[in-house]
Chains A and B, each alone.
Chain A
Amino acid sequence: MKKSNVFAFVLLSAVFFYACTKDDNATGTSTLTSNVVKDLVADTIVGLVNGQPVGVGKFTFYSLENNAVVPSTDSNSTKWDIAFRGTTIITNAGTSGPGAGGAFVYTGTFDELKTVPTDSTFKKDNAPTSYAITSGSNKGWYVYDPVNNLITPIPGRVLVIKTAKGNFAKVEIMNYYKGGSTPAPSASDDIKLKTQRFYTFRFVHQANGTASFQ
């Protein structure tokens, strides 16, 4: 991993990797991987501009194929599949990257999604007006509570991803805060700002090109 700047180093070093657990499915194929990624930093807040919290504005790129963070110097490559910046999630296609990726948001539980439905349409990003995973509160994967200033992933939303190579994966965002634990509504704004933009998500990746997740 080449580090282009100190900030990227900080980003990457804050990422915790958890061991891959290969699915022991009946057929014994090893094309299916299932992982949980914890505390993936996604442009954490560095300060206030005009009273609004801001990060440095950079995406954190992730390879679902390799279960690893991809340096931002490789942003214009097919090495990454999904990237995070605040609440914005992009996939490697369209205006976001040169890959054959795409995504759509599926409603249901993660485990019940055993195969990508045949009538699925994978959308491509067209920044900044539209994203395959729609940005905005209650439109895509999260809801923002303006009273408590909290971001919560909507339960029952699964991001069905086409990787840069064109393989299928399913991703579930589990939490947006450090340690996978949303602050209490009564927590201070300071805590809410400092602990947000740390993604906990799980994914299942199918490497053999089929639409099956089992």
Chain B
Amino acid sequence: MRHFLLLFFLAPSILFAQKKSDSLFNASLDEVVVTATRTPRTMGNLAIPVSLINAKMLYQSGSLRLNDILAEQTGLMITDNFGKGIQMQGLSSEYTLILLDGEPLIGRTGGVLDLSRITIRNIKKIEIIKGPSSSLYGSEAMGGVINIITDRAGQNKTDASLRYARFGTIDGAVNFSRKYNQTDIQIAANYNRSEGYSLKPFAIQKTVEPFWKSSQQFNLNQRITERWKTGLGLRLNNTYIDNSIAVQNLGSTIISKGFEKNDEFNVTPYVQYQVDKKIKSVLRGYITGFNALQKLDVKDAYGAYNDQFKQLFARVEQQTDIHPTQQSTLTLGAGIIREQVSSNRYDSLSTVRNNQIAYLFAQHEHAFNSKLVVIGGARFDANKAYASVLSPKISFQYKINSYWSFNASYGRGFKAPDFRQLYLNFTNLAAGAYSVFGTEVAEAEIKRMTDAKLLEQTTDVFSKLSILKPETSGGLNVGIKYNHPQKLNVGLNIFRNDLSNMIVTDVIAFKRNGGQIYSYFNLKRAVTQGAEINLSKQLNKAFNLQGGYQYLYTADKDVLDAIRLGSVFQRDQSTNMVTRMKWVDYGGLPFRSKHSANLKIYYENATGVFATARAMYRGRWGTMDLDGNGLINRADEYAQGYFQLNASAGYQLNKYFKLMAGVDNIFNYKDILNLPGNPGRVGYVDLQINF
């Protein structure tokens, strides 16, 4: 423990200088992760399921954006609605917290944080924590946490890379870092563009429209004295997408030209004070903003379409790590968050909606002996705009012997109602004249419409409209791991997440013109459970084999109750005959694959040649109801399962140049309807220069 503390002192330079990350072992026991406990821990000493993707794997896999590499990980699915979202342990994108160097990214659309916004050209590693982690991170950390850690190398290094890929895709990146006596700085820039593609050859509107994305990042760390350290991070991230929307209105096509623009900034100052060998304290500030603008010059009666969304998130947080004894670590933290949002979807741009959160968290980790480690913690979030939440978590690890270890954890997670659920005031004139009102504005809007005699009637659920509560979950993870250093690594994790108070829309009233009015309710209960197996085997000096499989079962609990009661029916596609639905007929929550797997081979020799082949399988997943019961049950309601094979190879020409080429989706698998984000086979060449 003392040795560890010493390491801790000199962090991050020593930690990052470790050569351990050269190994492709997914869970090499010595690799350090910070996300699981908010303190640096080696992979071998973790009581909760964590996976790690290191820089080498990121490079050799030929990934450019965050979604590229996550799509190749066991148990993670990329969804394609409002951008590239992530599904973890069967929980959808809105329930996974995405951190950049430990700070949460904002700017979600429909709950989805678009992972393709994030370049991985300057990423050192990605840590993936599965299971509820709200006890440390608060809202959104229900399914898990993905922490993207940028390369703050603390060394003198300059590199540049250039990629050309199909569809006019160009990606250029420059990373620069310098280490001076007490100062280290890092500058990273990335530009990514593509001409997009069409899956339907003669369509006016491309499936993916031309876009560009750019990112600039600057980090500074300054050691003031032995004990004091400070730093600042700045990041700018911009995306621009061309938009030509062709609206088919029964024969007549209306083409509208426009664009979509997202601008994001992050500012992260910190001060760190090492009180003594036992106590370290960090004060962190964080301000991030996300502005989305969508403009369309619509050539019809509705005129120009202008949609704006502005979000600001500011946080001050203090975290103190105390080591009262060699066997224990106490982590204490507190913070204040202010969030504000304005959008012309919520009244007007000039109306700023805000929320304030004050929170406290504490975690105690104790090693009872060399075999047993127990971690207990909790976080309390007091919110202004909705009910407060307490999120506890307990986990332990037991090392059976030097090869086998067992761990289990139970935690509570939550997701705060988001601003749209509270304040949305949206009427779609084009499609059926429906309206959606957030819970905080619904009553006033209904009254206004009643007075204006625009309403036909309110529904029964209208009377149930109330203050939204956060969505909550309880997550259990039980795992067993076998590790034979540098030879074989096998891990099994069994999980179950029970979700309650899930927010769904329901009809609160009917308009006289036939349109429906929706609002939000804490109604749904769901379960996701399954098992994940991961394997990593060093076949010989050159070959490393990795594989993984996830079995996933998901269900809406109310549907399960209804099936038990016999009040759910289904219709056969060919005979049109109706039967009572049985438990086995129910396909669970949509967009979930029961089976998913991957198998990857990495080759590398001493002369600087590497090659990879990565096969991913995703079993069928439910996409839509076709027999009128609102559920996934019939075979034609599923998207077909598929294999995708990606391969890459590269060569280190000399000290300066690294060359790589690869092909993603070699078998050119496409599913126009269900996988619009999959363009088919994509080849690329990539040059990296190290100065």
Contact of A53 among B250, B578, B624 (CB under 8 A): B250
Q: Give the Cβ gap from A37 to chain B, nearest Cβ, in Å.
A: 12
- Total A-B Cβ pairs within 8 A: 62
Decide: A189 near B627, CB < 8 A? Known: A110-B578, A174-B576, A180-B576.
no
B-chain residues with CB within 8 Å of residue A107 when the two chains form the complex: 567
Contact of B627 among A147, A152, A172, A184 (CB under 8 A): A152
Interface: A186 (CB within 8 A):
yes
Binding-face segment, A12-20, A77-85, A153-161, A205-213: A153-161
B248 touches A155 (CB 8 A): no
Decide: A186 near B628, CB < 8 A? Known: A53-B250, A156-B569.
no
Q: Give the Cβ gap from B118 to chain A, nearest Cβ, in Å.
A: 29
Q: Give the Cβ gap from B670 to chain A, nearest Cβ, in Å.
A: 14
Chain A residue total in the interface (Cβ 8 A):
30
Contact of B578 among A109, A150, A189, A193 (CB under 8 A): A109
Q: Which chain B residue lies CB-closest to A184? A: B636
Decide: A109 near B431, CB < 8 A? Known: A142-B628, A185-B624.
no
B-chain residues with CB within 8 Å of residue A174 when the two chains form the complex: 571, 576-577
Interface: A51 (CB within 8 A):
yes
Question: What mask results when residues 190 to 204 of chain A are scored 1 for a CB within 8 Å of chain B, else 0?
Answer: 000100000010000
B-chain residues with CB within 8 Å of residue A53 when the two chains form the complex: 250
Q: Give the Cβ gap from B645 to chain A, nearest Cβ, in Å.
A: 26
Contact of B250 among A51, A152, A153, A186 (CB under 8 A): A51
Interface: B432 (CB within 8 A):
yes
B-chain residues with CB within 8 Å of residue A63 when the two chains form the complex: none
Q: Which B553-579 residues have C-beta < 8 A from chain A? A: 567-571, 576-579
Q: Which chain B residue lies CB-closest to A52? A: B250
Q: Give the Cβ gap from A173 to chain B, nearest Cβ, in Å.
A: 9
A200 touches B576 (CB 8 A): yes
Interface: B322 (CB within 8 A):
no
Decide: A143 near B630, CB < 8 A? Known: A109-B579, A185-B624, A186-B673.
yes
Q: Which A14-33 residues have C-beta < 8 A from chain B? A: none
A51 touches B252 (CB 8 A): yes
Contact of B629 among A150, A155, A172, A182 (CB under 8 A): A155
Interface: A1 (CB within 8 A):
no
B-chain residues with CB within 8 Å of residue A200 when the two chains form the complex: 576
A-chain residues with CB within 8 Å of residue B673 when the two chains form the complex: 185-186
Q: State A153–B251 Cα separation when bound (angstroms).
A: 26
A182 touches B626 (CB 8 A): yes
B626 touches A155 (CB 8 A): no
Listed by A's residue number, 18 A-B pairs whose Cβ atoms lie within 8 Å are A51-B249, A51-B251, A52-B250, A143-B628, A145-B624, A146-B432, A150-B626, A152-B627, A155-B627, A155-B628, A155-B629, A156-B567, A156-B569, A175-B576, A182-B626, A185-B624, A185-B626, A186-B673
